[in-house]
Amino acid sequence: MQPVTLPLGPLTLHGFSRSGLATYVAVPALDACFDLGHCDQDVAGLRNVLLSHVHHDHVLGLVRHLRLRALSSAPPPRVYVPAESRDDLLAVLRAHERMEHADPQDLDSIVHPVSPGDVLHLSSRYSVRAFDATHRAPSRGYTVTETRRKLKPALAGLPTETIRTRAQRGETVTDDVTFDLLTYVGDSTVDTLERHPEVGRSEVLLLEATYLPPDPTSAAARYGHTHLDELVELHHRCPQALASRHVVLKHFSLKYSDSQVHEALAHLPDGLRDRVTPLLAP
Ligand SMILES: [Zn+2]
Ligand SMILES: [Zn+2]
């Protein structure tokens, strides 16, 4: 489970993802990790954990995350999980505390339920919009929105001293400008993207592609996953859903070698191929 580091425009991602083994994507700039199938020491330093769903390959690192943070006296994490799965996750975490004879943590205030449409605040600069994703277990997608303060266009070109004086007099000299920085979709069928084509407005879009050609697309539908060919069809049918500058594909089945994945991606159509990066070693 060798993690890879991907510098993508404004963000650097660090993570690993293979179906059935582990998936986690750490984004240090957001102090956040999406899914937590495994937890190394760097990831334990991130406070916000956003779980797409509770299949083992997406949550098994959570116990270690809680323990490593407690050991280092870091503030407790904020764990976000689909509302439907929160009680079961709490039961597992409490059972672990009992098995380990660990000091009980205030898990009720650590694990937060997430429903579609909820807005989470990571910081004054970054907020997250949750939406529903289609999978075999209740699943959420997450879009991170960045808010930047920009000088009002009417004031552009004025001397700094003049702007400062106006601000001190109580005049509003800036506008808040928001844009979608990143969308994370965990395990999902392709219809999530058709229902939420706005994900393509994000600078960075993380999607799953568990199955690759020449395997048939039927397996993807049966197990609640996406086949690479379905993304190609979507690119032709609904291009706005895949319009992101950076499209990161992950969660490839363990039956494919890294080189088979790279080979399949090399055959993506023009206009998509050069924007796609796998979460794999180059
Ligand atoms: Zn999975
Ligand atoms: Zn899953």
Q: Separation of 210 CA from ligand 1 center, angstroms?
A: 9
Q: Which residue has the tokens 């994370």?
A: 184
Q: What are phi and psi of 281, to 5 degrees?
A: -60, 145
57 CA from centroid of ligand 1 (Å): 5
pLDDT at res. 221: 86
Query: Residue 1: which pLDDT band, with cuts at 50, 70 and 90?
Result: confident
In the reported structure, the alpha carbon of residue 173 is separated from the centroid of ligand 2 by a whole-number distance in angstroms of 47
Distance between CA atoms of residues 77 and 63, nearest Å: 11
- Name the residue among 247, 177, 162 with its Cα closest to residue 205: 247
Cα(118) to centroid(ligand 2), Å: 21
pTM given for the model: 0.94
pLDDT confidence bin for 257, thresholds 50/70/90 = very high
In tens, the pLDDT along 130-163 reads 999 999 999 999 999 999 989 999 998 999 999 9
How far apart, in Å, are the Cα atoms of 265 and each of 3, 90, 186, 225, 275?
Answer: 20, 39, 19, 17, 11
Tell me whether the omega of the peptide bond preceding residue 213 falls within 30 degrees of 0, making it cis: no
Instruction: Give CA–CA dist 94/141, Å, rounded.
Output: 26
**Distance from the alpha carbon of residue 206 to the mean position of ligand 2, in angstroms:** 15
**Structure confidence by residue, pLDDT tens digits, 17-27:** 999 999 999 99
Closest ligand to 57 CA?
A: 1
Of the candidates 125, 131, 163, the residue with the CA atom closest to the CA atom of residue 48? 125
Which amino acid would we find at residue 14? H
Domains of the chain: 4-278 (3.60.15.10)
Quote the ligand 1 centre to 254 CA distance (angstroms).
11
Residue 207, pLDDT score:
98
Question: What's the mean per-residue pLDDT of the chain?
Answer: 96
| Residue 258 · residue 2 · CB < 8 Å | no
- Please state whether 85 falls in left (phi above 0), alpha (psi between -120 and 50) or beta: alpha
Q: Label residue 219 by pLDDT band (50, 70, 90).
A: confident
The pLDDT of residue 10: 86
For residue range 39-94, list pLDDT tens digits in order.
999 999 999 999 999 999 999 999 999 999 999 999 999 999 999 999 999 999 99
Residue corresponding to tokens 């991130």: 46
CB atoms within 10 A of CB 78: 18
Q: What is the mean pLDDT of the segment spanning 4-13?
A: 94
